[in-house]
Amino acid sequence: MTDLAIETEGLVKVFGANRAVDGVDLRVPAGTVYGVLGPNGAGKTTVVKVLATLLRPDGGRADVFGKDVVKDADAVRGRVSLTGQYASVDEDLTGTENLVLLARLLGHTRPAARARSEELLAAFGLAEAADKQIKNYSGGMRRRIDIAASILNTPDLLFLDEPTTGLDPRSRNQVWDIVRAVVAQGTTVLLTTQYLDEADRLASRVAVIDHGRVIAEGTKGERKASVGSGSVHVRLRDPERRREAEAVLRGALRATVQPDPDPVALTATVDGHGTDLGAAEQAARALAELARAGITVDSFALGQPSLDEVFLALTDGASADGAPADRAPADGAPADRKGPAA
């Protein structure tokens, strides 16, 4: 037995001249949500496909619950399930028909398949839509039934590849509640996402991948602390003076200052480098400088940097070359596998 759900060492996957995964090391504790963050083309989905035995690695090692994903692929498949980026169910079938069909394929008897389907439809708030065709479901309903299909047989490890892409806030919260419930039952979840608040709410540890490499890993607190000891948020009374306030903050904090979408708001990260002052003292000095400049501050907050700020600091906003590292070539590399990994 192992206390690690996933362990990789020097994992490599190559598509032609493109090293989509370039020496990835991961250690994912069992029974947790582990977040994998990164810009488009960073290699997140390729890592998931290798771990789910859908792609064969070209180098390194990957174990799932101590089983090698190449040598013991069947044993790995028996313990994992994958929900990809797009709905994997048949749109012409009803919710019940989809779940019963998949449950039968997974070895359930007909009565057991029906009972399990009814249980999941009720648990995911889909009982009233059970007899509707999937093509009449909303986006949030489709994602919920897709996850339900992935846990017809409760997996030890569930891969969720950007599960809330395109969903409205209410639907995203519903999916998050489902993830928490799945983990509460003992399942490990590896979550890839570009929504930083999603990782912040769900994951206990995160890895940031860019250009096929892990460029940072640790708890959320560790990652936030790595880019600064605090984040200063100010709201001004006069939006016309925001540019002037930005210059004052930049000089007082010796930090990058970002205008927020709110036309009277600014955010700066306090890193503490080159000064004996703590984050609170630096923020107080900055407020004093704004007052001396005659700039009125209506509200002020000091907190940890957000995961958004961590992400942007580590990846510089996007992959430099924009290469679609997550895209498998069209000449025979497996496409996304949909639904339960059996």
Decide if 34 contacts 203 (C-beta within 8 A).
yes
What is the helix (H) or strand (E) element at residue 68, kind and residue range? strand 67-68
Judged against a pLDDT cut of 60, whether residue 119 lies above it is answered with yes
Decide if 69 contacts 76 (C-beta within 8 A).
yes
Average pLDDT over residues 80-94: 85
Judged against a pLDDT cut of 60, whether residue 168 lies above it is answered with yes
- Cα angle for residues 59, 61, 62 (degrees, 5° grid): 125
78-82, 189-193, 220-224: segment of lowest average pLDDT: 220-224
First to last CA, the chain: 22
Residue 268 burial class via C-beta count within 10 angstroms: exposed 0-12, middle 13-18, buried 19 and up: buried
Highest-scoring range by mean pLDDT, 53-67, 202-216, 243-257, 277-291? 53-67
Question: Taking the model in full, what pTM does it have?
Answer: 0.70
Kindly report the number of other CB atoms within 10 A of residue 299's CB atom.
11
Q: Model confidence at 285, in pLDDT bands (50, 70, 90)?
A: confident
Q: Find, among 32, 318, 337, 36, the residue nearest to 162 by Cα.
A: 36
Each residue of 224-280: pLDDT tens digit? 555 555 678 899 999 999 999 999 998 888 877 888 889 999 988 776 544 555 667
Decide if 232 contacts 267 (C-beta within 8 A).
yes
Residue-level pLDDT at 334: 42
Q: Model confidence at 318, in pLDDT bands (50, 70, 90)?
A: very low
CA dist 95 and 223 (Å) reads 40
Residue-level pLDDT at 302: 78
Q: Which two tokens stand for residue 204?
A: 């206990």
Kindly report the number of other CB atoms within 10 A of residue 145's CB atom.
25
CA dist 39 and 316 (Å) reads 10
Residue-level pLDDT at 195: 78
CA dist 256 and 272 (Å) reads 13
Q: Find, among 203, 208, 229, the residue nearest to 283 by Cα.
A: 229
Each residue of 1-43: pLDDT tens digit? 459 999 999 999 999 999 999 999 999 999 999 999 888 888 9
Residue-level pLDDT at 332: 39
Q: Find, among 33, 303, 20, 23, the residue nearest to 189 by Cα.
A: 33
